[in-house]
Structure 1
């Protein structure tokens, strides 16, 4: 539950978040996602209100409502990602324990790859991916390699089993291979080995993956956020009563012993989070072609001109050599004739 939200010194609310579903954590929320119904379809920037980008969140977990045996930890799971990236929070999420104020300081790296024919990178959102994206609160998500493979694997699993993996239930809207209609696929029974066998075949067979995931190339542009984490004890004693009043004002049922243990409950459920831009410098890694089309044409022209020039000079030298040889032969012939005449005149 959101207690307080502040971005660059101004209050924000739950209306500034979009929902997305995680197969592991259920309903999750993204701040500052690219969405038409948030912030007039635009995103927040770090330099707003004279700040350099700081999001402050105070959260309350309500751990007494956790479903037993589904999790072995009490925490808030968070990640920093690009505005148009569907977050795979199961893989890169960071767990934030209650009773502390956490600080996430991030810096940004960008990677840009050349398009075809230099690489096989892709920007195209496939119809299957778009069918999955359409289920997430109108947020605009771009192409992602892992998302593309998840959709392709779910499609192959459906073709083989008539159902999809129960561990990827957020990707149930699929387009069967060779068809155009979107369907809402049933989840396979968790005890049925068909979906896991299909996943093994998909990942182990190059021909199958090329057939179902032929469009799943590397992203042409990626943004990576490098994090530095630190934390301190929270909340402070002077803030405890304010949190208590907030929790009691909610319609969510309280623990049965709340009146006597509310202080411990707050310590075990309160999480504070500051996400701060640590540096305005962005490290950019850009792939560039060693030779571009203009360079290729220029090199061909230069090489051709060079060899034509060399060939012309060689022909001139050869002609000069022939001329000198002919002139030498003419001289020798004339000299021999002259000597014969001189001998003849002497005899007379």
Structure 2
């Protein structure tokens, strides 16, 4: 593993989805009551997986299933509109507008809006760190439109990701609260992993992803999270003959598939079995990590906003915005209402140093060939030496026998009876 730190004079900016924490509701639905959740849980006698979940979990699942029966246009119409919730926007001090955002629908959070998605225009870059060279948003929370008893948290979820992958704000989003200015500082982390035979990562992020439901809907590249979700969804469709409304339906199914109904005991049992297998990592999903991945390290800080000195200026600006805001900020509780419904967020690079982690092979093919050559050289050298030693030994042995034969011949030429003086 090799770690290095680099400096760049300009960095491409990530995509930044903004999602209200108040998801859309079908307020006229009889299913969206706490008693309906309790009744639903009591109906399930066998799958203990659901019985272990909280009422809030069941409430969210019922809400998702109920909304899944509506068309996408109906679901979008029930959610927050960017024109209503975006009070002010600037990028590096230059004003921006809702036209600079791309909308996508999340089954749990509703309408989400991504700045710098890269779909309609080139990705933005910045040349300096700091909040004055990033994205600044002033947002209207619209708490008066929250459905009583259904939404526990007020504010927004902000995610930061590479534009080529699918965001999941509910899982990795940062919470932006009303009454605060939230600063999100970024640092780039690039990770390079080795493919086979050294590792098991996926090198080509655009091939072999036809079954990825998010690729089918949004034409994104491979990501481990979308692969796991797609594996789960395809398993539900195959075994339960319905789809989990928490995630998009697969477009490769050549038949009409409806959302799994929580009031259907067979579908609920089937869903519970698959969710239990998924929780135990028993589903056969081949979802390796990507060989090359760009992530963003975040540091979050916040302070009370607006300050007492800026509050009157903010109220004057909001009065000019629309009639709904004007109706609330002219009363006696204008200050309290402002702090409960206004939020500010700044997203920027806090430094231009980016980190790079590269996975290196501990034993490469050249190393193997070098070792083989070394071993061959060693043993071949020993073999040649042995051959020469064999010939040398044979030569010495032959010389020995020849010398012994010569000595016998000389001794036979001398008469044993002859005396010498």
CA distance in 2, matches of 1:338, 1:246: 135
After superposition, the C-alpha distances for 1:263-286 in whole angstroms (9 at most, x for unaligned) are: 322211111111120121111111
After superposition, the C-alpha distances for 1:198-256 in whole angstroms (9 at most, x for unaligned) are: 222355474xx33xx33x2111122222221111221222432234224425xxx5698
3-state SS in 2 of match to 1:103:
strand
Q: Contact between 1:34 and 1:141, CA under 8 Å: does it hold in 2? A: no
Equivalence for 2:112: 28
3-state SS in 2 of match to 1:279:
coil
CA distance in 2, matches of 1:311, 1:217: 48
Equivalence for 2:92: 8
Q: Contact between 1:80 and 1:225, CA under 8 Å: does it hold in 2? A: yes
3-state SS in 1 of match to 2:322:
helix
Alignment of 1:213-224 (within 5 A): 213-214=285-286, 216-224=287-295
Shift of 1:157: 0.6
Q: Contact between 1:77 and 1:93, CA under 8 Å: does it hold in 2? A: yes
Equivalence for 1:173: 250
1:144 aligns with 2:199: no
CA distance in 1, matches of 2:371, 2:259: 59
Q: Structure 2 residue aligned with 1:133, among 215, 218, 229?
A: 215
Equivalence for 1:159: 238
The range that moved more, 99-108 or 13-22, is 13-22
Q: Contact between 2:187 and 2:351, CA under 8 Å: does it hold in 1? A: yes
Shift of 1:99: 0.7
3-state SS in 1 of match to 2:230:
helix
CA distance in 2, matches of 1:202, 1:231: 37
* Count of matched residue pairs: 325
CA shift in 2, pair 1:73/1:51, >3 Å: closer
CA distance in 1, matches of 2:293, 2:217: 23
CA shift in 2, pair 1:21/1:200, >3 Å: same
**CA RMSD between the two structures:** 2.8
Q: Which runs of 5+ in 1 are unaligned?
A: none
Q: Contact between 1:104 and 1:273, CA under 8 Å: does it hold in 2? A: yes
CA distance in 1, matches of 2:113, 2:256: 23
State TM-score, norm by structure 2. Answer: 0.70
3-state SS in 1 of match to 2:346:
strand
Q: Which runs of 5+ in 2 are unaligned?
A: 1-84
Q: Contact between 2:131 and 2:347, CA under 8 Å: does it hold in 1? A: no
Q: Contact between 1:105 and 1:276, CA under 8 Å: does it hold in 2? A: yes
Shift of 1:7: 1.3
Q: Contact between 2:214 and 2:220, CA under 8 Å: does it hold in 1? A: no
Q: Structure 2 residue aligned with 1:84, among 150, 164, 168?
A: 164
CA shift in 2, pair 1:56/1:151, >3 Å: same
1:319 aligns with 2:391: yes
